[in-house]
Amino acid sequence: MNHQNHITPVNMAPSDQTDASAGTRNQQWLKQYHQSHAHVFGTPLRVLDHGRGVYVWDVDGHKYLDFLAGIAVNTLGYAHPTWLQAIEKQASQIAHISNYFASVPQISLAQKMLEIAQAPAGSLVYFANSGTEANEAALKLARLYGRTLTSADKPARILALNHGFHGRTLGALSATWKPAIRTPYQPLLPAFDFIPANDMAALQQAFEPTDQTGKNQQAPVAAIILEIIQGEAGVCPLNAAYLKAVRQLCDQHQALLIIDEVQTGMGRTGIWFAFQNENLCEGITPDVVTFAKGIASGFPMGGIIIFGQQYASLFTPGIHGSTFGGNPLAAAAALATIDVITRENLLGNARERGRQLQQGIMSCGNPLFKSVRGTGLLQAIELTHPCAHAVASWALDHGLIINAVAANAIRLAPPLIIQAEDLQAGINILAAVPQDLADD
Ligand SMILES: Cc1ncc(COP(=O)(O)O)c(C=O)c1O
């Protein structure tokens, strides 16, 4: 059924304009944005004012159903009372302390992270403030580990996958594939090698002592960093056999397996971490897991879990650090997020709503939609032709926030609190997307 007739644009009514000659409030604020912000993000889509649950409102008062959640960040949606209370209480108690001191929320959170990751005895947590910083810490750990395998003047290699995304600071960028964001910053860090995802032969070759020609020696591999579902690449899962081979080769060659769960972690795929998915990762234990995005439901935080004492002991006093890492406010927001995920069974909800989303999209009758991929509430719709930006723009004009993650793919990552009715409302808008849209 096509719902096109029932879907009306939300943000085109001239009556909303405060002063027609000055434009809408969105336009006025965006003009000032441009005059005051470095232009790294292009033009923001709207200027948002507030949010409640799974809805946000812009400065002109238009309401949007949010199927992006700040890019898989707002686990609990907007202004969840438990999250709000936790931050308010912590702010009134103690907000920031530096790492010369510790706080109870920080300690409790580290314990909780070890518990939900089912990390073995001796495992430890390091807190940072974002995904890129989490990966930065993991890569620094890998460099330290590499020094135990080879000399510093011929560093052990770190493998990363084509289409992988790990962040934009120079270290994490060195493991990030996309040429458009890498090239302007070259030279990046040495001894990073990219291999195609899900390619067994290339994986095997990367661990060999000589390169493909058989003539040149290769340094040993210190680590491989990967996402189990490549989020920024368009929500593309690795396959189970490949992941098994990665773990085996890491064991065989004493290399670290770093799993980047920045986007997939903290319940997004219907389990705490994607590496706990038995279908995809049976028997696979990582050596390092990185997390950020959804952990504190909108409060900036990231970090790593180092599995086992052998690797955890590589970090010694002074070797790495951060002013804000483990900040009590962020830790309180994260503890509240984990508490609500557990109490409200948001893992189960993510699994169920994920199934509803897949079925709803595939049965909605929109011929633009070729397939849906992903797990839980991290999904992407593959389109029949490259018009994702036009689709996202049309949806926004009709009250739904979605993301053109690739030219022919739409990413859907609503808050984990979303209920069946709101999810269906979003599917109805998607069902009504016209077929004749084309990207500029
Ligand atoms: C898998 C993955 N790793 C790392 C990052 C970088 O996170 P941040 O933007 O918080 O630095 C992202 C961001 O999209 C991501 O998806």
Q: Say if residue 430's pLDDT is above 90.
A: yes
pLDDT at 5: 45
Report d(CA 316, CA 114) in Å as an integer. Answer: 19
Q: pLDDT grade, residue 13 (50/70/90)?
A: very low
Q: Name which residue sits closest to atom 8 of ligand 1, judged by CA.
A: 131
d(CA 325, CA 322): 5
Percent pLDDT > 90 in the chain is 91
pLDDT bracket for residue 23 (50, 70, 90): confident
* Continuous segment of H or E residues that includes residue 291: strand 288-291
129 within ligand 1 shell (Cβ under 6 A): no
Q: Which atom of ligand 1 is nearest to the CA of 164?
A: 1
- State residue 440's pLDDT score: 80
Q: For residue 49, how far is its CA from the centre of ligand 1 (angstroms)?
A: 24
Q: Is residue 296 in contact with ligand 1, taking CB distance under 6 Å?
A: no
293: annotated active-site residue: yes
Answer whether residue 7 shows pLDDT above 80.
no
Cα(364) to centroid(ligand 1), Å: 32
Confidence tier at 11 by pLDDT (50, 70, 90): low
Mean pLDDT of 383-398: 97
Instruction: State the pTM of this model.
Output: 0.96
**Ligand 1 pocket check for 292: Cβ under 6 Å:** yes
Is the confidence at residue 228, as pLDDT, over 50? Answer: yes
Mean pLDDT, range 105-120, rounded to an integer: 98
Stated as kind and residue range, the H or E segment containing 226 is strand 221-226
Mean pLDDT score of the chain: 95
pLDDT at residue 368 is higher than 90:
yes
Query: Given 60, 260, 287, 422, which residue is catalytic?
Result: 260
What pLDDT is attached to residue 327? Answer: 97
Going by pLDDT thresholds of 50, 70 and 90, the confidence category of residue 20 is: low
Decide: 260 in ligand 1 pocket, CB within 6 A.
yes
pLDDT in tens, 196-227: 999 999 999 999 999 888 888 999 999 999 99
Q: Is the pLDDT reported for residue 6 higher than 70? A: no
Answer whether 286 contacts ligand 1 (Cβ < 6 A): no
66 Cβ inside 6 Å of ligand 1: no
Tell me whether residue 165 is one of the annotated catalytic residues: yes
pLDDT-derived band of residue 389, with 50, 70 and 90 as boundaries?
A: very high
pLDDT (tens digit per residue) in 265-320: 999 999 999 999 999 999 899 999 999 999 999 999 999 999 999 999 999 999 99
- Contact call for residues 58 and 11 (beta carbons, < 8 A): yes
Alpha helices, DSSP H, located in 259-387: 278-281, 309-312, 328-343, 346-363
Please tell me the predicted confidence (pLDDT) of residue 2: 45
Q: Report how far residue 87's alpha carbon sits from residue 328's, in angstroms, rounded to the nearest whole number.
A: 9
Q: Which pLDDT value is given to residue 212?
A: 87
260 is catalytic: yes
Could you report the per-residue pLDDT of 315-357, keeping only the tens digit for each?
A: 999 999 999 999 999 999 999 999 999 999 999 999 999 999 9
166 lines ligand 1 (CB under 6 A): yes
Ligand 1 probe mutation, 73, 232, 275, most atoms within 8 A of CB = 232
Structure tokens at 177: 């594939």
What confidence score (pLDDT) does residue 19 get?
A: 60
Cβ-contact 243, 203 below 8 angstroms: no
pLDDT value of residue 9: 79
Nearest CA to ligand 1 atom 10: 131
Confidence label for 15 from pLDDT (cuts 50, 70 and 90): very low
